[in-house]
Structure 1
């Protein structure tokens, strides 16, 4: 109940018999404390009054409200129950009790309290609204509509009721009606950030992505720490391609990229670049293939790029999945290297080169280089240690030019550099962090010796560079129980016992550089994660990022899946994405994981789709036929030929984000081992392993499946999915990602 109404009631709080009523000054003080939000003082005074006057119902009611606002719902329930007992016909007391019961998940009891409140006072607006919220949580959506509409009929300008009505209408699929309700709530309360966010979610579902993005940005502007709005914006941007300039979006996009960990930058890179390409600073740049520029033109180009902080932020966080930008950067890098002695050093040049060097390190130097550039780099590699040996410092521009071609941390002299002291991010990212990873490697436990020949080759591939290299990621805002996650994903469980695992143990088999393990550790409440991988380089990267983000519920271990029997424990949940299909015998590895899964436990698996990767398979065959090597130089050379090719498969590959990172491209088309699956083959594996399919995870894929079949198709029917994939062969371009459950027997 709102404080204003309770304050009014306080005037009546001493109308009982004189001998059981507290002094008026005490009640006035209690009212002032509560009205001003002084909850500690209000609680102390209310406790004192209830001790002296245990039958003073109003004070118990205020105490219940204070305890509820402090988040102490169990205590609030007791206080409100006393208030109800002392005055059974007090509708407000019943409503307050309902709110407290809702707070501890006792929804049926809460509903009974709200029913009692509305029966006692049919025009009790807040009780109708709270009843609607409870009915909504119970899944009784049509009844919830009745309650919200009742509240609105009693008070047409009741903002919360319009907002809650919108939530229910959206859940019922009545998106246009939901939009109208959210807009009404915003009209009544223009600063309502939550309504803007939910409006954006609704607009996204309606396919009006530009409007959705605008709505999310408005929510962020109104409430800069509104985590849900950041997440919503990140999700929406994954599908947006801008066709006109809109500089007003730059600030919220920079916020999204730099504030917290709400989205993976690579997931919003394409949409962000599509926006930047419309900017006047970008449009006239020499993007055409084989364009040439003179040294005199470089400074103005850099000046234009420096006017776009959004571009710099993105470049420092992830590879840019855009060949036009790549060709421009390759050209600028080449010119600067060849003209180092002629360049006029300026803060603008240092700023751009700092960003470029971080960007090239992040994409693992995937850009091609000419023989002339290699020669000049070799000269720099000789010159810099010679200067340092004379107790002098090389010029910052020389260090940055070198860093745009080679990783600085691999040079023995890198820690002697003082030239980068004023470039803290460059020094941290290119030197300090990789050296820290080298130290962390020594402390990672090892489970058995890796002996399988394919496992050894895979490990060698991933030791060269931590895979994948990342800076920020999308961490779930709030951890949830297994039951809540299953409900959110709409998983079809074949045994409910797993819902009761309050402290789940989780295994990540093939954790790479920690994105998977950290996101899982933050997804499930009160969980502990054991994360294993073949590559010490990747594990050290994962350990550094886990420490950096403050996670203490993840342990890392170097191990081959084939040796995990030695781990000596079973798990409630096992996740392995993109790993089994790289093993010599995927079923052998999968069998080990099933043995480690508790009966009734859940497993999330990611496997390559044969249909979706047809073009990849053909390119891999081409690599074999041409006898292309797997060295970094070989990969760069072949990649350059792909970028210049007009072949359909090649062009399709260049549109993949993985094309713009050396280790990702190596994993995509140069991996030493790869198996592909079909849905029937996947089903056979599940049957053989005693696993039952629970559902795919990708929400967009499921939405498209539903839209194709209509009339609520069975989303757990793998035969239906097989038919769907054959008519939509690119559906699982990002792998089959699905959940399954181990049978109890």
Structure 2
């Protein structure tokens, strides 16, 4: 009897120890998945979770929960075969476990089987209707099947139930880029508001979604005057849109322009910027900064701003209190960056923190950020080219962005082995990536931020974009990325430095006289190196070509004044069939976007030469081809089309089709 009692006691103690180990493993896994956990600690936590689970499984080899969690850890480590074996054992041990069923769904997603994943998630929800991981997984599976409307509603439900995970917001944002909005919908407006209010999302990617909602909201013209200002001041969605994204619609641009003019006239007539109008004024200013002051300005506005400039020049020359000049600077920043005004040096006597707190985002964007970016540009010889430009013609960064897309961190070599099946064992511990045509650096910074084994060289010919990217990299604490003009990157490669991956986002402009990109890519990549190219041609639409011919015919100079005249012509004729494509492009709604399309389009000859070179199967192997929707294409027909194009057989060119192609260099 005593022996039985002692045996029961030992068994209970073992079970308690196993339960503690399992609890410890769950806590470690939760810590590993926290967005606040660095990659090194994340890997260490997963390893500790494995050790705790191994203890459990050494005592109970068929423990369903332990097997299921171990399978999920293996998935996160990229060991998909191991994960499949573990989850199969867990399923045999307990086929009714919602956790195991959900994990099988995530494994199916990683294996590129969203339909099967959806079935697993449905089975998990049948067992536990409250399973948030299963519901979120189903949303992801629907998204992978391009059933974006259903996925969007799933993400909305998750947020409504308080599950405000970053992955839920990111999934919802991606869905918005594929939704059509045919009528004003208050629920959609609230969705847009909470996405814009999230501080960590890439708000620039909400542009089309927010535009479509607001376009329906303001389908009828709003009368000018006080009623217009009152309506806009009370519209939270419009205010957030002005503060954080871009409005891609000709009628909404006219609404913004009329609102700005109405506000200025009210200030002129009353001599005061009312407190109730201050948020609107600062939102309009931040929007103007983001678009490079693309909006049309009337003569009476210009006259008022000239008078305001004269007053500010006097007020700022003496010792001043920030509150005394705040309203004047807000109004002035509606029409031009404060950094470029003749009295800018007086503003610089104050630190950003010296200004009223609510005004600091505006002051940062219109003065302090531009000062930092200008200091960065000074180190490059290309800065000399800007010295001959008028203040109004200085280039802006484009696209203008602040936040990165949300992804999970992982080693690039692991990702390439899984997605492309390439052997990276001969690559160095730190993979070097050359991003050509990096623009203002968002994609390049995402590579540097989310891949834990890379250093990135981001290259572009627009110094403003490079400076913008460099400043944001410093703000985000990234030390594994540099932003260089072509001249410096070319010297770096010609000095014998090589990279393991070249990504070509855009080609240099027609006026670029540096080393051809075909040559640069060949010199940069060694045997086994990876080349990723996008075949879309920027600024190659028929209307862009027609506008460039018009400039040549009328001998129009590539100035901001010319650009605004061309934009005004198009905005005054929005129904013209030829302009429809352009009016749907985000580029049109910013001076930097128009400048790129009309004054500095990509050099199509360089792209054709590069594609001809890639057609050689002796030198290059096409690993993957994707269309504009992200769907995989068979590689053999793409290679045949490349070769036919190179031999000039009259086949349709791949250039301009917007394909994403991955090549590996053979020798």
TM-score normalised to structure 1 length: 0.72
Partner of 1:686: 614
Q: 1:330 aligns with which of 257, 271, 275?
A: 257
**CA drift at 1:620:** 1.9
Q: Deviations over 1:76-106 (max 9, x none)?
A: 476468x36xx8x877799489657777666
**Secondary structure in 2 matching 1:530:** strand
- Structure 1, gaps ≥5 residues long: 1-10, 42-66, 119-125, 130-150, 287-292, 707-711
Q: Is the 8 A contact 1:619 1:649 kept in 2?
A: no
Partner of 1:145: none
Partner of 1:217: 156
Partner of 1:742: 665
Q: 1:310 to 1:611 in 2, by over 3 A?
A: closer
Partner of 2:641: 719
Q: 1:271 to 1:111 in 2, by over 3 A?
A: closer
**Correspondence 1:517 to 2:444:** yes
**Secondary structure in 2 matching 1:231:** helix
Q: Is the 8 A contact 1:643 1:651 kept in 2?
A: no
Question: How many Å separate the matches in 1 of 2:122 and 2:154?
Answer: 11
**Correspondence 1:276 to 2:214:** yes
Q: Is the 8 A contact 1:679 1:718 kept in 2?
A: no
Q: 2:476 aligns with which of 549, 553, 566?
A: 549
Question: How many Å separate the matches in 2 of 1:551 and 1:586?
Answer: 29
Q: Is the 8 A contact 1:696 1:738 kept in 2?
A: yes
**Secondary structure in 1 matching 2:516:** helix
**Correspondence 1:472 to 2:402:** yes
Question: How many Å separate the matches in 2 of 1:27 and 1:562?
Answer: 65
Q: 1:677 to 1:268 in 2, by over 3 A?
A: farther
Q: Where in structure 2 are the equivalents of 1:220-235 lying within 5 Å?
A: 220-222=159-161, 224-235=163-174
**Secondary structure in 2 matching 1:604:** strand
Q: 2:629 aligns with which of 689, 692, 700?
A: 700
Q: 2:363 aligns with which of 427, 430, 439?
A: 427
**Correspondence 1:639 to 2:567:** yes
**Correspondence 1:259 to 2:235:** no
Q: Where in structure 2 are the equivalents of 1:237-252 lying within 5 Å?
A: 237-252=176-191
Question: How many Å separate the matches in 2 of 1:733 and 1:206?
Answer: 26
Q: 1:405 to 1:686 in 2, by over 3 A?
A: same
Q: 1:737 to 1:258 in 2, by over 3 A?
A: farther
Partner of 1:670: 599
**CA drift at 1:595:** 0.6
Q: 1:203 to 1:421 in 2, by over 3 A?
A: closer
Q: Is the 8 A contact 2:518 2:610 kept in 1?
A: no
Question: How many Å separate the matches in 2 of 1:101 and 1:722?
Answer: 45
Question: How many Å separate the matches in 2 of 1:206 and 1:110?
Answer: 23
**Secondary structure in 2 matching 1:277:** helix
Q: Deviations over 1:281-309 (max 9, x none)?
A: x45542xxxxxx45xxx333222223332
Q: Is the 8 A contact 2:308 2:332 kept in 1?
A: yes
State the superposition RMSD in angstroms.
4.5
Q: 1:612 to 1:308 in 2, by over 3 A?
A: same
Q: Deviations over 1:439-487 (max 9, x none)?
A: 4445x5x5xx569xxx969997999234215233443522333454336
Q: Deviations over 1:245-278 (max 9, x none)?
A: 3333445434433435444x33321112212334
**CA drift at 1:388:** 3.1
Q: Where in structure 2 are the equivalents of 1:578-593 lying within 5 Å?
A: 578-580=506-508, 582=510, 584=512, 588-593=516-521
Q: 1:566 to 1:223 in 2, by over 3 A?
A: farther
**Secondary structure in 1 matching 2:604:** coil
**CA drift at 1:436:** 2.5
Size of the aligned set, in residue pairs, is: 634
**Correspondence 1:382 to 2:310:** yes
Partner of 2:239: 312
Question: How many Å separate the matches in 2 of 1:196 and 1:93?
Answer: 19
**Secondary structure in 1 matching 2:408:** coil
Bigger mean CA offset, 587-596 vs 545-554: 587-596
Partner of 1:485: 415
- Structure 2, gaps ≥5 residues long: 29-42
Partner of 1:198: 137
Q: 1:68 to 1:584 in 2, by over 3 A?
A: closer
Question: How many Å separate the matches in 2 of 1:510 and 1:439?
Answer: 22
Q: Deviations over 1:307-363 (max 9, x none)?
A: 332322222223311111111121222233344232464322111111001100110
Q: Is the 8 A contact 1:166 1:177 kept in 2?
A: yes
Q: 1:270 to 1:77 in 2, by over 3 A?
A: closer
**CA drift at 1:367:** 0.7
Q: Is the 8 A contact 1:629 1:635 kept in 2?
A: no
Partner of 2:583: 654
Q: 1:319 to 1:414 in 2, by over 3 A?
A: farther
**Secondary structure in 1 matching 2:500:** strand
**Secondary structure in 2 matching 1:405:** coil
**CA drift at 1:224:** 4.4
Question: How many Å separate the matches in 2 of 1:248 and 1:640?
Answer: 35
Question: How many Å separate the matches in 1 of 2:539 and 2:308?
Answer: 47
Q: 1:585 to 1:241 in 2, by over 3 A?
A: same
Structure number, greater radius of gyration: 1
Q: 1:414 aligns with which of 322, 347, 369?
A: 347
**Secondary structure in 2 matching 1:341:** helix
Q: Is the 8 A contact 2:535 2:655 kept in 1?
A: no
Question: How many Å separate the matches in 1 of 2:364 and 2:318?
Answer: 25
Q: Deviations over 1:184-212 (max 9, x none)?
A: 54454444333333333444455543332
**CA drift at 1:625:** 1.7
Question: How many Å separate the matches in 2 of 1:375 and 1:407?
Answer: 17
**Secondary structure in 2 matching 1:244:** coil
Q: Is the 8 A contact 1:613 1:733 kept in 2?
A: no
Q: 1:12 to 1:616 in 2, by over 3 A?
A: farther
Q: 1:40 to 1:327 in 2, by over 3 A?
A: closer
Q: Deviations over 1:378-411 (max 9, x none)?
A: 2211111223346556554432222111111223
Partner of 2:36: none
Question: How many Å separate the matches in 2 of 1:378 and 1:325?
Answer: 27
Partner of 1:128: 92
**Correspondence 1:15 to 2:7:** yes
Q: 1:635 to 1:212 in 2, by over 3 A?
A: same
Q: 1:647 to 1:587 in 2, by over 3 A?
A: farther
Question: How many Å separate the matches in 2 of 1:425 and 1:610?
Answer: 32
**Secondary structure in 1 matching 2:501:** strand
Partner of 2:500: 572
Partner of 2:35: none
Q: Is the 8 A contact 2:305 2:332 kept in 1?
A: yes
Partner of 1:137: none
Partner of 1:148: none
Q: Is the 8 A contact 1:303 1:348 kept in 2?
A: no
Q: 1:516 to 1:551 in 2, by over 3 A?
A: same
Q: Is the 8 A contact 2:67 2:86 kept in 1?
A: yes
